[in-house]
Every structure is written in structure tokens, then in C-alpha cells.
Structure 1
């Protein structure tokens, strides 16, 4: 990572708004990801500013405060699509816009794409793979994930522990991609194409506090039962490998 290489211009496409406590601490999900990427850079004794410049772009038309904005492709080198409460398989206009924008980035060949959870599913959909509700239910809080040889090499781990918050799944690894990981509940946990895209179904950016707030909120809303919530909360503060995944993202951006 020589100093002669200018910082990668990363645009974070926010596809949801955090719950109140998380929003207060980080503002938007771009703040959550920037915090993670900062820790990943620090763990390698590299200032993040030498690797990345980060801009935030809200792409959901659900707020009077934040208008929808996509970065001009000329102004960026990479995008990161965040997680979301929305369904990646829905045909709402903004989701179709996001799929089309992602497709133009991938097909253009210059802009690299990172997808996380909903973002992973959007990339899968963009690459022609169906996304659907899983008949195996929710995968929530810190889960142990089996890595492929490619996944082990990219993340520098033998096993991956990562936060999850999903019940939708990408149904197959896209053609021409390298599978990264799988669990029994979700066989497609991530995929990769060098210098083009990398995705994970889990949430490397989530903390115990963020997951606790989501689980408690969804319990109150009747989405999660008391038993399910209790079990998930018991795993919300376990150690996880989010920083290692983010180091993998940083390596991918500099390939």
C-alpha cells in the first residue's frame, strides 16, 4: 500500500436509516462503516485517510431530510451498499434504480463494489441470481460461518464469526464469482471477483449494542418472539471478526 497510490474514493450507499440509539452515535450507516474501516486501518498501523476518502449517499426516498443522491461515476472508485430492512427482491422503483446503478458500476469495470447483507443481495440480483425469503427463518447475532479457501485467504481466518440480521438469501453463487463462505441456514454467505466485487451476507460493521437495539425493537414489533430474542441477545456481545472482514475489504479496494 505505497503512498504513491492515491486514496480510493469510496461512496457508501445508505439503504436504510439506523434506529435511534445507533443514529445518535453514528449519524447514518456510513458512520457505522467508517468506524469499522477506521479500526481495520488502525489494526494495520495505516491511517485510513491514506487508503480511503468516504462519502455518504442516501438512496431510499423515505426521508424529507435526506434527499436521494447517487454519486457521479467519474467522482468515485468504489461503492459500498449497506444493509437494509427492505427486501432486495422487491420491485420498488428505488430498488430497481439501485440494481441498475450497481450493474453499471460492475459492467463499467472500473468501479469496485462491496455489498453487505441487503447490499450482498442486491449484487447477487444484479448478477442475475434470484434472491428470496429463506424457508429456514432468521439468522441473527454472532454466528460461526464456514469459509472457503478463498474466504480464508481474503480474511486471514480459518473460521469466521460475524453478526447476522437476515432471513432473505441469495439462492446461488453468481456465475464467474468465487464463493467465500456458507452456513447451514444460508449456503451463500459471500462471493468475490477480484478487482470487481466482494460481498458478505453478515454484518461486519455491527456491534453488540447495534444488534441489541435491533433485536429488542423487533421483539416489541412482534417480528421476533421472546424466546428467539433472548437466544439472539445471548450472542449479541460475543467476539466477532468484523475488523478482519473490513481488512479484507481494504485489501480488495487496493488490489
Structure 2
């Protein structure tokens, strides 16, 4: 990393960890904090923009980032909400607390970008007025092609009709929260990603990003959609690799959570090329205000 890069003030990010990886994944890849840090590093523009990622166990410790001390410019730029083997629509204390916290942060700390991944996508939908439930069509496992809306193409900067993303979910979002727009869908899952823009009259970047740093949002085109994005979610797992998915399939087959047909389909699809550190990863960085190289 160059002297110029290390002199930049790191972007401060938080990860709400909604689960612990199964032992075989944890032994090879670490905690979800490690897994998400790797995904962010690999999709980081030129793998050079400095950032910090703080992890918070919202399941057992029920700990959350402090958002009310210090200045906005020194605070968290974004909060990511991880996936989980738990059920987002379940009525249990820690999930109810998470839903209430997300709703409050979206209302009172709009300067912070919220990014939901799988379970996190479902939690954001539930917190802000959407509907999440068990999918009667069953599992989506392995790399799956997501049919993009026109907005989805703009968000991910692609002219392709479909983009492939790793999947591992049985629950899904069936209706968008008020004000959100759809990014994509599959035959099994109608809401595979969603986005909430800042109001047109809101200050750009919500006053969070220093105008002195030319490498972040002020350098984005004024018309760039993601510079005006408050919340973005995807049902898939941009942070998952083939090896991670393989280990999860093995564990869920052994426990009986996945039947033979689901396991076979997942294994057939899991090794396909996907856009976790490509189109999806770079879009996450643009939401956080970091420009990326034009996508091919």
C-alpha cells in the first residue's frame, strides 16, 4: 500500500453479526467478521482504500455500535447486517431487539448507510414495513442468476439481464417496505434486493463525508445513483465462496435440513462464477462513497 493510501482516513464500518459460522467454516475462514473483511478487501477499489470493520454480536451478547458519541464525520459510514441460520420473522427477544434497533437507526441516523445481506436483507425489510416469511418454493442454494430490474442494472453498472450471486436461504421477502425499490428477483424469490434513496431535498452524503477527501463520494458524478442511496440489500451472499457454501451444504445435509434434491442442486451450482467481489462488491463500496473502476 502506498504512502498516499495509508495517509487517508479509514472509512469506519460496523458489522452486526447475526450468527456464528459452523465449525468447519470457522476453522478455515474465521468468524463472519473475518469473512466480511475479506470480501470488502477483495472488492475494494484497487484493494487500496483503507477501512476498519468492527464486529458486534447481536445474538448472544446483544451488543450494538455506539452511534451517539463523537462527530458524524468520525462515526460509522456504514453498518452491514450479516446472514444467519436463524429465521428473520421469528418472535424471539434478540431478533425483536435487532428489528427495533434497525428501524430506529434508519429513522434517527440517516447519515449512516445500511447494507443488508440475506438475513440482514430480511431484517431490514421487516423493520421498515416489508414482509418476510418462509418460502413455500423451498431453498435457493449455490450460485443463482438474479433477473435485474432496470434499477438493478443501474445499481450494479451492467447491461446484463441477469447476474449470478451465491445463495443460501429458505426464508425470503415477499413485499417491499414503503419507499423501497426492487433490484431483482428469481422465479422462487420475488425480492432479491432492494434500495432506498435519500429524499431529493436531502443534503448529498447526509453531511457525513469530508469534502476534502477526493477519493470518496464528492468525486462521484452528481447523478450517480449510489451516492444518493441510504439503504441497499441483497438476498444473496456476496461474502460466500464455493468452499464456504460447500461446507454449509455438507452440514445441512447431515442435519437433515436439506433433502437430497436440494443438496444435489446446490452442489451443482456452487462452483459457478459469481459477482460477490465483482458487481455486487463494488456497488457496496459506491454506496459507502468510494468510486470504483468502471465495471466491464
Pick from 223, 232, 241: which aligns with 1:207? 241
**2:141–2:262: 8 Å Cα contact kept in structure 1?**
no
Are 2:250 and 1:216 equivalent residues in the alignment?
Answer: yes
Q: Residue 83 of structure 2 corresponds to which residue in structure 1?
A: 83
Q: SS at 2:99's partner residue?
A: helix
Maintained 8 Å contact 1:81/1:116 = yes
Deviation at 1:98, TM superposition (A): 0.6
- Residue aligning to 2:156: 155
Partner residue in 2 for 1:69: 63
The equivalences for 1:43-122 within 5 A come to 44-49=45-50, 52-61=51-60, 67-74=61-68, 75-108=75-108, 109-122=110-123
State the 1:78 CA deviation.
Answer: 1.7
Q: Structure 1: which 5+ runs fail to align?
A: 62-66
Q: Secondary structure at the match of 2:111?
A: coil
Whole-Å Cα distance in 1 between the matches of residues 101 and 33 of structure 2?
A: 18
Q: Secondary structure at the match of 1:181?
A: strand
The CA deviation at 1:102 is 0.8
* Residues 62 and 94 in structure 2, CA contact (< 8 A), matched pair in contact too: no
Deviates more, 1:9-18 or 1:104-113: 104-113
- Tell me the SS of whatever aligns to 1:242: coil
Deviation of 1:6 after TM superposition, in Å, equals 4.2
Preserved CA contact (<8 Å) 2:141 2:265? no
Matched residue SS, 2:178: coil
User: Structure 1 CA distance, aligned partners of 2:289 and 2:8?
Assistant: 9
**2:88 aligned counterpart, secondary structure:** coil
Give a deviation string over 1:132-177, Cα, whole Å, max 9, x none: 1111111111000101112112212322100111111111122211
Q: Distance in 1 between matches of 2:23 and 2:247?
A: 9
| In the alignment, structure 1 residue 165 sits paired with structure 2 residue 168 | yes
> Does the 8 Å contact 1:105/1:112 carry over to 2?
no
Q: Which runs of 4+ in 1 moved over 6 A?
A: 2-5
Which structure 2 residues correspond to residues 33-44 of structure 1 after superposition, within 5 A?
33-41=36-44, 44=45
Q: What is the CA–CA distance in structure 1 between the aligned matches of 2:266 and 2:76, rounded to whole Å?
A: 38
The question of whether the paired residues in 2 share the 8 Å contact of 1:147 and 1:181 is answered with yes
Matches for 1:171-190 after TM superposition, within 5 Å? 171-190=174-193
TM-score by length of 1: 0.91
Q: CA RMSD in A?
A: 1.8
Asked which structure has the greater CA Rg, the reply is: 2
Aligned length: 245
Aligned to 2:275: 241
Picking from 235, 251, 266, the partner of 1:232 is: 266
> Per the alignment, do residues 48 and 68 of structure 1 end up closer, same or farther by CA in structure 2, a change over 3 Å counting?
farther
Following superposition, the deviation at residue 218 of structure 1 comes to: 0.7
Counterpart Cα distance in 1 of 2:112 and 2:9: 15
Contact 1:37 1:48 in 2 (8 A): no
Q: TM-score, normalised by structure 2?
A: 0.79
More displaced stretch, 211-220 vs 23-32: 23-32
1:46 positional shift: 4.5
Residue 230 of structure 2: aligned partner: 196
